[in-house]
Chains A and B, each alone.
Chain A
Amino acid sequence: DAGITQSPRHKVTETGTPVTLRCHQTENHRYMYWYRQDPGHGLRLIHYSYGVKDTDKGEVSDGYSVSRSKTEDFLLTLESATSSQTSVYFCAISEVQGVRSGNTIYFGEGSWLTVV
Chain B
Amino acid sequence: AQTVTQSQPEMSVQEAETVTLSCTYDTSESDYYLFWYKQPPSRQMILVIRQEAYKQQNATENRFSVNFQKAAKSFSLKISDSQLGDAAMYFCAYRRRRDDKIIFGKGTRLHILP
Partners in one complex: no
